[in-house]
């Protein structure tokens, strides 16, 4: 199977698969950071932090970033790596989990913050009051430098 064909099937599976509740050995986690070599540091709703591996079918086909949510299966024999990512969650998955009442409250606030931050608005231009205070501080700096000379 060519790389393009594999990518097409993996993405189709992610987007069009039936949304179902997590099974007994699956848990919802948030990605904290990438550790390299297809390992990601994840956090559960119980504040437990550990490493999770990305399975080979997702490698080079699906990209995840800090703040994304995943469904992972626990690995019992793992020392540092305690889980394997089984599904990368989309907005539709998250909406379904919220409607079923299984979405953790801890992740609810993080999810809202990630959506607001992901908009293409630079942080310096997000609020007019911030830019006004920056302009005032620049004016004060100029006045102070003139009074010192």
The band of 113, judged by pLDDT with boundaries at 50, 70 and 90, is low
The band of 111, judged by pLDDT with boundaries at 50, 70 and 90, is low
**Does the pLDDT value for residue 115 go beyond 80?**
no
Structural domain boundaries in the chain: 3-120
Rg of the chain on CA atoms, in Å: 22
Quote the pTM value: 0.69
In the block, which residue shows the tokens 């199977």?
Answer: 1
Instruction: Find the length of the chain.
Output: 149
What distances in angstroms separate CA 131 from CA 106, 124, 139, one per listed residue? 32, 7, 12
**Does the pLDDT value for residue 61 go beyond 90?**
no
Q: What pLDDT, in 10s, does the model give residues 73-106?
A: 999 887 889 999 999 999 999 999 999 999 998 8
From the list 108, 120, 118, the residue with the least C-alpha distance to 30 is 108
Report the percent of the chain where pLDDT is more than 70: 72
Provide the CATH number for the domain formed by 3-120 in this structure. Answer: 2.40.50.140
From the list 41, 38, 39, 83, the residue with the least C-alpha distance to 61 is 38
């Amino acid at each position: 199977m060519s790389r393009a064909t594999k990518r097409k099937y993996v993405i189709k599976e992610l987007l069009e698969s039936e949304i179902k509740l997590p099974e007994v050995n699956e848990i919802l986690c948030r990605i904290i950071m990438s550790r390299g070599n297809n390992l990601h540091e994840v956090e559960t709703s119980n504040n437990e932090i550990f490493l999770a591996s990305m399975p080979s079918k997702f490698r080079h086909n699906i990209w995840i970033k800090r703040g994304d949510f995943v469904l992972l299966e626990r690995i019992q024999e793992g020392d540092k790596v305690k889980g394997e990512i089984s599904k990368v969650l989309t907005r539709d998955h998250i909406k379904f989990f919220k409607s079923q009442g299984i979405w953790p409250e801890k992740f609810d606030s993080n999810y809202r913050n990630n959506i607001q931050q992901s908009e293409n608005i630079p942080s310096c231009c997000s609020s007019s009051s911030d830019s006004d205070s920056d302009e005032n501080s620049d004016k004060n700096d100029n006045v102070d430098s003139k009074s010192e000379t």
